Amino acid sequence: MHVKRSILGVGVTLVAGALVLSGCAGAGAGNTSGGKTTLTLATVNNPQMKDMEELKGEFEKKYPDISVKFIQMEENDLRDAVTKDVATKGGQYDIVTVGAYEVPIWAKNGWLSDLTQATSSKSYDVNDLFPPVRAGLTSGGKLYAVPFYGESSFLMYNKDIFAKAGLTMPERPTWDQVATMARQLKTPTQDGICLRGKPGWGELFAPLTTVVKTFGGNWYDSKWNATVDDAKFSAASQFYVNLVRDAGEADPVSFGFTECLNNFSQGKSAMWVDATSAAGSVEDPKASPVAGKVGYARSPVKETKESGWLWSWNLAIPATSKKKDAAETFVKWATSKDYQKLVGQKLGWSRVPPGARTSTYSIPQYQKAASAFAPITKQIMESVDPKNPGVEPQPYTGIQFVSIPEFQDIGNQVSQDMAEVFAGRSQLAPVLAKGQKLAQAAGDKQK
Amino acid sequence: MTTDALAPRATASARPLGRRLTAAGTRRRIRGGAITLLTWGVVVVFFFPVLWMVLTAFKPERQAATDPPTFLADWTLDSFGKVFARDMAPYLINSLTASVGSTIIVLLLAIPAAYALSIRPIVKVRDALFFFISTRFMPVAASIIPVYLILQTLGLLDNINALMILYVGVNLPIAIWMMRSFLSEVPVEIVEAAQIDGAKLRTELFRVVIPIVLPGIAAAGLICFIFAWNEYFLASILTSTAARTTPPFLASFVDGRGFFLAVLSAASTIAVLPVVIAGWVAQKQLVRGLAMGAIK
């Protein structure tokens, strides 16, 4: 009897505990109660977004009838979560951060709210947004998202290593020059260059597609015929693979942005070609031992004048949001000139979101705080052309990606196969031949 | 004569026997030492990643990913501060709700089910067991779209109770199989003796069988709790804000454009604590339970 009672007692206690926990579970989804509107914002967990969350109190002070709940996610989780929410009209999010790749596709699907009217006021100054970035967020003449921060790509190099080797980095290096220097600087304990090799359309194929384009290749010609197995795409890919094998990291398949950032910041790599937004982390003395010792040059070229990519993380409002007015108020606040000044005053001028507004680069405090990389970032951001980044014309807008829904899958599959090439288990030709078939199938749908 | 004849032989054979015994003892000691050493080696291999995670949690970000890795660092609690600044509590509460709730329901269903499959067996026990385990044959990913659409239609997306029910479905077959193994080891004579004494089904179950298999229940419960606590796939797809659990929250520390290893390690260290505490509390029962069941 005693045993039975004690077991029942334990069971009842546990069930009661579970119910109590269930009752106080979660933080509560966004809703409207007591005249206060709660917005739910789904975002990537990048430093600039974390700053936005830190400063949301300032917004809530200014607009006491609106509060904002941030849901931070890893980049791929965010893509999955937001895609399924907007595609199934779930309506769980009022504001989402969307990459430059998704905006035109989602806009065509009718998943995003038109922000043209909301951003037309003089005080917002929509013309201050970087023109190439704005062009990528516009579909059918309507603006569907506004940039929170933008980035291109450039070459970072360790000035100490270069000085020791007696090398000088040109302001606009070519890939041939970079390859020669990288091979020269490679030692058993130091990589000549760090380049992404991790599979993924947004990992390996971000830098590799820029190399392909400056070598004169592309994923498609102007009539959506795939050109993945042509001579120029092959030459660029072979160049990239050879360079990584000869002068790059020992295990390229494991190296994406994060790994290269760690490698370069630890002084283990002489050069690194990647996002301009990396400079903020590289120059952070609390996190990076090479802070203050890094030089910056334009992204290396072959046949084009420029080969930097163009990416932005943007704020958009899903068409399913029931709180569009409040959401627009927040979106405008977070992408305004005043917000940029607020970040500078409250968190430090080097933390101002880069690459979204041209006026950012005229703020004297920002110029001073980001003097190492701000001028070159602005030059690149203004000169890249997402409509015609390569040698031949292309039928889509985008530099390091093809703005069709199938590209994610194609890029992921081909990059998985490329990993086998890096590992020496496969040849490049069959990989590109397979990629050609995949790309052609997707291209045929666009014709 | 016989004695004289045997004595020297016995004396002669006594020495080799002693030496043989000593040699056998030495071999046993060496084998025992080698097994102990091997066990410690395996323990270190399995425990090292956890240790490294905890150490990294206390390192500043610039020392978290040094090459070569180093044990020494300027120890700091900064990363834990960053985790708490993100308000981890709601995610931990959600995980606790889904894990504890689903484990209780699983045990409440699994014990009678296993009883009917072992002590008082139904007809076609093997078919029933096969049916239960066959629900695990299909990967969860294969059923996610219908599950998502059903929950969406019922308005149960981002609902912690819905997630709890799904975890019950996922863990129930394992718990039934485990409990059936534990119950099969209960001596039939004890059950029969209780029946002869006039024990009814409830008395038989609660006063005779369950006290015997309590360690097994602890083992099955802990395994279900761990599976539910660590579950990522369903939680990341079926929850967004109110019902978000700890594993997707941990993934959100992966920073696409900055350093994150120390802060991710700090968040992970906090996240594993409930499982470690649960395992520690149930340690005695758990060891007995794991030793008596099918997974020994």
Domain that holds residue A37: 32-151+311-369
Q: How far is B31 from chain A (nearest CA, A)?
A: 40
Secondary element (H or E) of residue B46:
helix B2-57
Answer yes or no: is A2 within a domain: no
Same domain flag for A70 and A190: no
- Domain termination residue (choose one: A323, A354, A369): A369
Same domain flag for A242 and A129: no
Strand positions, DSSP E, B34-136? none
Those residues whose C-beta lies under 8 Å from the C-beta of residue B207, and which sit 6 or more positions away, are A1, A3, A4, B194, B199
Query: What number of residues does chain A have?
Result: 447
Residue of A25, A266, A281 with shortest CB distance to B97: A25
Same domain flag for A305 and A418: yes
Same domain flag for A281 and A413: yes
Same domain flag for A75 and A137: yes
Strand partners, A147: A314
Answer yes or no: is A26 within a domain: no
SS3 string, A361-380, reads HHCHHHHHHCCCCHHHHHHH
Answer yes or no: is A178 within a domain: yes
Closest residue of chain A to B232, computed from CA coordinates: A77
Same domain flag for A304 and A397: yes
What is the per-residue pLDDT across A350-375, written as a single tens digit (0 to 9) for each? 889 999 999 999 999 999 998 989 99
Residue pair A249/A255 in contact by the 8 Å Cβ criterion: yes
Answer yes or no: is A206 within a domain: yes
Residue A422 to residue B272: CA distance in whole angstroms: 36
Same domain flag for A137 and A126: yes
The CA distances from residue A295 to A283, A284, B260, in Å, are 11, 14, 24
**Which CATH number does B83-292 carry?**
1.10.3720.10
Residue A51 maps to which CATH number? 3.40.190.10
User: CB of A257 within 8 Å of any CB in chain B?
Assistant: yes
Residue pair B274/A65 in contact by the 8 Å Cβ criterion: no
**Which residues in chain A come in under a pLDDT of 70?**
1-34
Rounded to whole angstroms, the maximal C-alpha distance in chain A is: 87
Residue of A21, A72, A280 with shortest CB distance to B93: A21
**Which residues in chain B come in under a pLDDT of 70?**
1-17, 21, 289-296
Cβ distance A281 to B257 less than 8 Å, yes or no, reads yes
Same domain flag for A98 and A77: yes
Say whether A295 sits in a helix, a strand or coil.
strand
Which residue reads 């509560």 in tokens?
Answer: A28
Answer yes or no: is A424 within a domain: yes
Write the single-letter amino acid at A22: S
User: CB of B211 within 8 Å of any CB in chain A?
Assistant: yes
Nearest to A114 by CA among A95, A135, A138: A138
- Domain termination residue (choose one: A369, A384, A415): A369
Residue of A26, A28, A90 with shortest CB distance to B157: A90
Residue pair A304/A391 in contact by the 8 Å Cβ criterion: yes
Residue A243 to residue A221: CA distance in whole angstroms: 26
The CA distances from residue B33 to B26, B28, B36, B45, B146, in Å, are 10, 8, 5, 18, 55
Same domain flag for A290 and A436: yes
Q: Give burial (CB, 10 Å; 0-12/13-18/19+) of A381.
A: buried
Q: How far is B125 from chain A (nearest CA, A)?
A: 28
Cβ distance A44 to B104 less than 8 Å, yes or no, reads no
Other Cβ atoms less than 10 A from the Cβ of A164: the count is 11
Answer yes or no: is A6 within a domain: no
Residue of B97, B158, B254 with shortest CB distance to A22: B97
Write the single-letter amino acid at A118: A
Same domain flag for A280 and A414: yes
Same domain flag for A182 and A223: yes
Residue A53 to residue A68: CA distance in whole angstroms: 9
Residue pair A49/B252 in contact by the 8 Å Cβ criterion: no
Residue A67 to residue A36: CA distance in whole angstroms: 7
Long-range contacts from A383-389, C-beta under 8 angstroms, 24+ separation:
A383/A305, A383/A306, A383/A308, A384/A132, A384/A152, A384/A306, A384/A308, A384/A309, A384/A310, A385/A132, A385/A306, A386/A132, A386/A135, A386/A136, A386/A310, A387/A135, A389/A210, A389/A213, A389/A304, A389/A306, A389/A307
Residue B26 to residue A360: CA distance in whole angstroms: 78
C-alpha gyration radius of chain A:
24
Residue of B104, B157, B241 with shortest CB distance to A71: B241
Model pLDDT, residue A78: 86
Answer yes or no: is A101 within a domain: yes
Secondary element (H or E) of residue A70:
strand A66-73
Cβ–Cβ pairs < 8 A, chains A and B: 151
Return the residue in A21, A196, A260 with the most chain B beta carbons within 10 A, the one to mutate for interface testing. Answer: A21
Q: How many domains are there within chain A? A: 2
Q: How far is B137 from chain A (nearest CA, A)?
A: 25
Q: State the pTM of this model.
A: 0.80
Nearest to A294 by CA among A307, A304, A285: A285
Secondary element (H or E) of residue B13:
helix B2-57
Chain A 327-366, CB below 8 Å of chain B: which residues?
Answer: none
**Domain residue ranges of chain B, discontinuous segments joined by +:** 2-57, 83-292
The CA distances from residue B191 to B18, B31, B116, B125, in Å, are 50, 42, 14, 19
Answer yes or no: is A59 within a domain: yes
Cβ distance A88 to B152 less than 8 Å, yes or no, reads yes
Cβ distance B258 to A24 less than 8 Å, yes or no, reads no
Model pLDDT, residue A209: 97
Instruction: Give the side-chain half-sphere CA count within 13 A for B82.
Output: 26
Residue pair A27/B87 in contact by the 8 Å Cβ criterion: yes
User: CB of A263 within 8 Å of any CB in chain B?
Assistant: yes
Which residue reads 């409207």 in tokens?
Answer: A32
Same domain flag for A295 and A317: no
Other Cβ atoms less than 10 A from the Cβ of B140: the count is 14
